[in-house]
Structure 1
Amino acid sequence: MILDRFDPKSVHRRIRLCADDYGISPGVNRAIRDLIGRERINATSVMVVGPAAGRDEVEALKTAASRHPHCAIGLHLTLTAPFHPLTLHYRPLDGGLFPPLSKMLRASLLRRLEPEMIFDEVTAQIAAFAERFGRAPDYVDGHQHVQIFPQVRDAFLSAARNAAPGAWVRQCGRSQPLVQRLGSPKALLLDILSAGFRREAARTGVDFNPAFAGAYDFKKPDFAAQMQQFLDSSPDGGLIMCHPGFVDETLIAFDPLTGQREREYAFLAGDVFKNMLAANRVTLG
Structure 2
Amino acid sequence: MNATAPRRIWLCADDYGLSDGVNRAIRELIERGRLNATSVMTVTSAIGREAVAALQASMAKSPRCAIGLHVTLTAPFRPLTLHFRPLDGDMFLPFPKLLRGGMLRRLDAELVHAEVLAQLDAFRELFGRAPDFVDGHQHAQLFPQVRDGFLRAVKERAPDAWVRQGGRNAPLSQRLAAPKALVLDTLSAQFRKKAAKLGLRFNPAFAGAYDFTRAPDFGALMRGFLEGLPEDGLVMCHPGFVDETLTALDPLTTQRETEHAYLASDDFPALLALNKVTLS
Q: Tell me the TM-score range normalised by the shorter chain.
A: over 0.9
Q: Which amino acid aligns with 2:64?
A: H
Matched residue SS, 1:190: helix
1:237 and 2:232 correspond = yes
- How many angstroms apart in 2 are the aligned matches of 1:163 and 1:266? 36
Alignment match, 2:109: 115
- How many angstroms apart in 1 are the aligned matches of 2:142 and 2:103? 11
Alignment match, 1:91: 85
1:7-26 maps to which residues of 2 (within 5 A)? 12-26=6-20
Alignment match, 1:6: none
Q: State the Cα distance separating 1:11 from its structure 2 match.
A: 5.3
The TM-score, its normalising length taken from structure 2, stands at 0.97
Alignment match, 2:169: 175
Alignment match, 1:133: 127
**Please, which of 169, 178, 191 is the counterpart of residue 197 of structure 1?**
191
Contact 1:213–1:233 (Cα < 8 Å) also in 2: no
Q: Which amino acid aligns with 1:233?
A: G
- How many angstroms apart in 2 are the aligned matches of 1:196 and 1:178? 18
Alignment match, 1:147: 141
- How many angstroms apart in 1 are the aligned matches of 2:95 and 2:18? 16
**Please, which of 147, 156, 159 is the counterpart of residue 153 of structure 2?**
159
- Aligned residues: percent identity? 64
Matched residue SS, 1:27: helix
- How many angstroms apart in 1 are the aligned matches of 2:151 and 2:219? 34
The TM-score, its normalising length taken from structure 1, stands at 0.96
**Please, which of 62, 71, 74 is the counterpart of residue 80 of structure 1?**
74
Contact 1:18–1:42 (Cα < 8 Å) also in 2: yes
Contact 1:221–1:263 (Cα < 8 Å) also in 2: no
1:32 and 2:26 correspond = yes
Q: Which amino acid aligns with 1:208?
A: F
Q: State the Cα distance separating 1:220 from its structure 2 match.
A: 3.4
Alignment match, 2:216: 221
**Please, which of 204, 207, 231 is the counterpart of residue 201 of structure 2?**
207
- How many angstroms apart in 1 are the aligned matches of 2:216 and 2:171? 26
- For structure 2, the 5+ residue unaligned runs are none
- How many angstroms apart in 2 are the aligned matches of 1:95 and 1:256? 20
- How many angstroms apart in 2 are the aligned matches of 1:163 and 1:246? 33
- How many angstroms apart in 2 are the aligned matches of 1:212 and 1:221? 19
> Where has structure 1 moved over 2 Å in runs of 4 or more?
none
Q: Which amino acid aligns with 1:269?
A: A
Cα deviation code 1:208-233 (max 9, x no counterpart): 00000000111132000000000113
Contact 1:147–1:153 (Cα < 8 Å) also in 2: yes
Q: CA RMSD in A?
A: 1.0
Q: State the Cα distance separating 1:35 from its structure 2 match.
A: 0.1
Matched residue SS, 2:73: coil
